[in-house]
Structure 1
Amino acid sequence: MNKKFSICFVSFFFLFLFMLINFIGVIYFLMNNMIIFMEWELISFNSMSIVMSLLLDWMSLLFMMFVSLISSSVIYYSKSYMSSEVNLNRFILLVLMFILSMVLLIISPNIISILLGWDGLGLVSYCLVIYYQNLKSYNAGMLTALMNRIGDVFILMIISWMLNYGSWNYVFYLDFMSNDYEMKIISFMIIIAAMTKSAQIPFSSWLPAAMAAPTPVSALVHSSTLVTAGVYLLIRFNNLLIEFWGLKVLLLLSGLTMFMAGISANYEFDLKKIIALSTLSQLGLMMSILSMGLPELAFYHLLTHAMFKALLFMCAGVIIHLMNDNQDIRFMGGMSSYIPLTSLCMNISNLALCGIPFLAGFYSKDLILEMVMMSNLNMLVFYLYYFSTGLTMFYTIRLLMYLMINDFNLIVIYNLYDEDYVMLKSMFMLLFMSVITGSVLSWLIFSYPYMIYLSLNLKLMVIYVSVIGGLFGYLFSIMGFYSVNKFLFVYELSMFLSLMWFMPNLSTYGLNYKFLNFSYKLIKYIDMGWMELYSGQGMFSIMKNYSIFNSFIQMNNLKIYLFSFILWMMFLFFLVVVIN
């Protein structure tokens, strides 16, 4: 058993060490206002050289620190969560490949190395989503891979467009090329690529489907790695995107994503999918604040969100384990009495998600909403932001009611215990970070404190919206609120809202099925049909027959053949004459 778990401990130790090194680096770089740009030559041949480049600044080091902290917690947690797994080492190695791809993406100032990290994330995420190897996992994995391939294709097109510039190091072009026509095309492609990775409308359907992966993977994917890659890319390219019309479209789509995910989470009964939809909602918030031209604020929320979201998934994993692998929240209840420590972690991470004062989410979320209040945007965007904030409180209180307060509904004989100290240690590490991250980062990232002066009612608007959302969440989770529940559970309406505005159906049966069916026919009739007959194999057999005939003639066999043919004909003629 010790041998089996050794890879967990070694991975945890090195990732934690890497986190500490990054933390020291962040402090040093911020104090000295440093940026390190490193290049080394891999291959040099005549006038051609292939160069690997790295960009180290406070942002990349801080993000790497958070990724390594969360992934070290997740790997330590996996030691217990995946203890019955036969191929645990394979699982840990896949997770390490995933983290390595993310680190490569973070430190890349070069669009080629970004593609390596980007594609690595897509490929390894497919392997992790199909890890349990059943039909549901395969379908979810294929949907995830195909959606992410769209972004990969756009990055490949960016690489081909940037051949015009002489270098793929995009950092050199961001400031002085923003008005260039070709850079506008590159900006558009970057936005589409980021939308696919960060699951904005119309690419949202893969994110809840990716819940088929093991829970430690979900904790890693939905906090600091796969889904945040698109946001991080846009933060890096932000100077290029200022005054680009595509950002206005992105603002609308990300606002709608936030709103749609908040509503869908209120109709969902799968524990992991509720948390996944809350991730989608927060990604919409990050993307929308980014498209308003505030990249530092988006990065700030990305980091604070990473902490409590990883913790939320870990708590969900513990509860699912104890519930005999059941994920339906209607069968849960009274958890706070049986598993108080896990319930403590779950409640604090949920409250941080809601933006309750002085937890991690409050600092970034409150600042974002006050900046929205200060900006000169229209009423639709204002409404989407505040309504989505209320919906966050709505589904959180509903979830807490179902998990902590309602009656336990699963089986008479149950075995709920809170003594898995490996899981608890990893969760308490993130719990501590979920409490202090917001304040610490506000001192680190912003060189001066943001003080936003608003009227009292506008200042308290966030609290008003949160209280109303929480009240509705409470009322809707106790089934005494019949009249409204009857209205909300009208079949057509609930079908539309719970199925993410029919987006999974459109992407699965509509786009993917049609395209896959079309490509199947192309392969069948073109590649394996006409092309097989007239190129490749077909051409080979035709040329082979011609060359055999040609060599037959060249070897002077034709004369012998003709002479023997004439002799045979004469012999047959002689026979016919004799018989007659």
Structure 2
Amino acid sequence: MCTISFMNLFFFSILSFVMSMIFIMNDYVVFIEWEVVSMNSMMIVMTVLLDWMSLIFMSFVLMISSLVIFYSKEYMESDYKINRFIMLVLMFVSSMMLLIISPNLISILLGWDGLGLVSYCLVIYFQNVKSYNAGMLTALSNRIGDVALLLAIAWMLNYGSWNYVFYLEMMKSNTEMLLIGSLVMLAAMTKSAQIPFSSWLPAAMAAPTPVSALVHSSTLVTAGVYLLIRFNILISTTWMGNLLLLLSGLTMFMSGLGANYEFDLKKIIALSTLSQLGLMMSILSIGFMKLAFFHLLTHALFKALLFMCAGAIIHNMNNSQDIRLMGSLSMMMPLTSSCFNVANLALCGMPFLAGFYSKDLILEMVSLSYINKFSFFLFFFSTGLTVCYSFRLVYYTMSGNSNFSSLNMLNDEGWIMLKSMMGLLIMSIIGGSMLSWLIFPTPVVIILPKLMKLLTLIVCIIGGLFGYYISNVSLFFSNNSFNNYNMSYFLGSMWFMPYISTYGMMNYPLIIGKMVVKSFDQGWSEYFGGQQLYLNLIKNSQFNQMMQNNNLKIYLLTFVFWIIILYLFMIFL
């Protein structure tokens, strides 16, 4: 099943990419509508919007998911129910396809909720308490966004159609459209894990690594960014843009700091994803829609590769994820280490790799834009932090001696995993330049002062040196980050966000909900509703039963009772 799914998805990926080329060259947009049901003046319509953006995004999602399924053939080989796993991944991909091609909030909700449900099933795939908790945190965090989307759908009843494409121009000035836009922005923020909904993304690392490679690179977490790219007119021209810029900048800063204090390999990569999502959201809030989309695609390539390499390392390390127990992997797993390092350098923005083309362009456009000093600082400092934790990760895993506690065989013999990694390796090297020629066919010259032009490079070099130095002086058990334990704990736990999410946002509302249910649904409304009706019916039926027992005393008593009633009636008349 793995091989068939891989071949089909890869074929559709190539087809979608070729169609996107035709659409870009001829400037085509195809809009297909199918009326499902009509009530008075309202129509529920299934809509498909095919333009260069949706087709190229579909192509990338299908390519990464095909390679992830091929990779899973070896990674999940010990799983007896591997077909169930593949079916879940395919359901996930089909939900994502539905979301990408829909310009209609109803059909978007189908894909959106499909993503939420299937991601919950994948997070709890390894059935243990940690996975269940992570799954519940993921599901409940995303429900907030789902409710916001439902409210937006309800509000759009005022317009006669759910196709937001028709109202994009009207959005700028209309107050009602601003309300719909703010609800959509809330939905996108929960899906893309922006502050204050960030805690679910690292928790979702409880899922199998192939799922992480798919979910946290190109599908689930980028769904929110993609939706906001479609609503970009509304975001960039209103107060929502300023709010989103602040929150996404803080998300980028917070996750960059957190990754420098983390020792779990998958969580470091998850926090890195969170940082890049913050970057996409913040550049989108300034108004550069194409740049955000460009970074979304390049990031999907090297982040999926990074997760795959991490999976191969964890697979070889007998399921150990602690980077302090790794070391000298470049000697024992040279091919995997090469892929890992290329993906890391692409993430840092190493010249002429995929990440460089989007990241450098974003930072130069930020330098060219009218934004405040605080946001400018967040952009560049967070870039430095990205390089810092990437070099720290490479130092801990690749150099020095092997710190693994037991004897085990580390090798590069997982050929199926390596083949899928090689496919993404090639794309991580050439993908950035290829996409930049496609998305920006007209060359644009960004003229800045020399220091500002070099600022990105300077920040990256300083970040890299700092990451290497900090790791070098705090290797093994003399860990200097624990000298100031309170600060390490605060920064390492994402500014206490997981505790606020679980206790503040979920625990107390659920307790209040339980109290409300106990006092109303199972209390007063039961007493005056169902239960009272039930007791009255019992009493009436007992009385009827008593009357039908043919008891002579009862008949005599009844006869006397009616005689008295008639007598009184006649007296009063």
Q: Name the TM-score class by shorter chain.
A: over 0.9
Match 2:554 to one of 531, 556, 561: 561
| 1:377-388 equivalent positions in 2, closer than 5 A | 377-388=371-382
Distance 1:135 1:430 in 2: 33
Distance 1:147 1:185 in 2: 21
Contact 1:174–1:239 (8 Å) recurs in 2 = yes
Match 2:237 to one of 236, 243, 250: 243
Amino acid at match of 2:276: Q
Match 2:160 to one of 166, 173, 177: 166
Residues 17-70 of structure 1, C-alpha deviations (whole Å, 9 max, x = no match) = 110110111011111101011011334577765321111100000100000000
Amino acid at match of 1:265: A
Contact 1:395–1:473 (8 Å) recurs in 2 = yes
Contact 2:251–2:278 (8 Å) recurs in 1 = yes
Residues 269-323 of structure 1, C-alpha deviations (whole Å, 9 max, x = no match) = 0000000000000000000000000111000000000000000000000100111
1:26 aligns with 2:20: yes
Residues 318-350 of structure 1, C-alpha deviations (whole Å, 9 max, x = no match) = 100111100000000000000100001000000
Residues 98-132 of structure 1, C-alpha deviations (whole Å, 9 max, x = no match) = 11111100000100111111111111111111111
1:228 aligns with 2:225: no
Match 1:399 to one of 378, 390, 393: 393
Q: Secondary structure at the match of 2:78?
A: coil
- The equivalent residue for 1:574 is none
Match 2:189 to one of 195, 199, 205: 195
Contact 1:41–1:50 (8 Å) recurs in 2 = yes
Offset of 1:242 from its aligned partner? 3.2
- The equivalent residue for 1:437 is 431
Distance 1:320 1:333 in 2: 13
Distance 1:87 1:529 in 2: 45
Residues 422-472 of structure 1, C-alpha deviations (whole Å, 9 max, x = no match) = 000000000000111100111111131221111221111111001100101
- The equivalent residue for 1:316 is 310
Distance 2:151 2:328 in 1: 53
Amino acid at match of 2:555: L
| 1:123-138 equivalent positions in 2, closer than 5 A | 123-138=117-132
- The equivalent residue for 1:471 is 465
Contact 1:476–1:485 (8 Å) recurs in 2 = no
Distance 1:433 1:74 in 2: 14
Distance 1:503 1:449 in 2: 42
- 1:107/1:535 CA distance change after superposition, 3 Å: same
Amino acid at match of 2:293: F
| 1:6-405 equivalent positions in 2, closer than 5 A | 7-43=1-37, 49-405=43-399
Distance 1:449 1:309 in 2: 27
- 1:535/1:334 CA distance change after superposition, 3 Å: same
Distance 1:166 1:141 in 2: 37
Contact 1:475–1:481 (8 Å) recurs in 2 = no
- The equivalent residue for 2:563 is none
Amino acid at match of 1:442: S
Distance 2:544 2:325 in 1: 80
Offset of 1:552 from its aligned partner? 5.4
Offset of 1:549 from its aligned partner? 5.6
Amino acid at match of 2:59: M
Q: Secondary structure at the match of 2:470?
A: helix
Contact 2:547–2:554 (8 Å) recurs in 1 = no
Distance 1:324 1:309 in 2: 23
Distance 1:105 1:413 in 2: 47
Distance 1:45 1:476 in 2: 65
Distance 2:480 2:43 in 1: 68
Runs (5+) with no aligned partner, structure 1: 1-6, 568-580
Amino acid at match of 1:83: E
TM-score by length of 1: 0.93
Match 2:541 to one of 535, 548, 553: 548
Distance 1:335 1:488 in 2: 26
Distance 2:266 2:200 in 1: 14
Distance 2:540 2:528 in 1: 17
When structure 1 is superposed on structure 2, of 194-203 and 445-454 the one drifting more is 445-454
Offset of 1:530 from its aligned partner? 3.0
- 1:413/1:178 CA distance change after superposition, 3 Å: same
Distance 2:322 2:331 in 1: 19
Distance 1:534 1:53 in 2: 47
Distance 1:532 1:94 in 2: 41
TM-score by length of 2: 0.94
Contact 2:474–2:481 (8 Å) recurs in 1 = no
- 1:546/1:291 CA distance change after superposition, 3 Å: same
Amino acid at match of 2:74: S
Contact 2:272–2:386 (8 Å) recurs in 1 = yes
Amino acid at match of 1:216: P
Distance 1:37 1:546 in 2: 65
Contact 2:328–2:399 (8 Å) recurs in 1 = yes
Contact 2:364–2:453 (8 Å) recurs in 1 = yes
Q: Secondary structure at the match of 2:49?
A: strand
Distance 2:169 2:428 in 1: 35
Q: Secondary structure at the match of 2:32?
A: strand
Distance 1:549 1:510 in 2: 51
- The equivalent residue for 1:3 is none
Runs (5+) with no aligned partner, structure 2: 561-573
- 1:561/1:356 CA distance change after superposition, 3 Å: same
Residues 147-186 of structure 1, C-alpha deviations (whole Å, 9 max, x = no match) = 0000000000001100100001111001133211101111
Calculate percent identity across the aligned residue pairs.
Answer: 61
Amino acid at match of 1:152: D
Q: Secondary structure at the match of 1:400?
A: helix
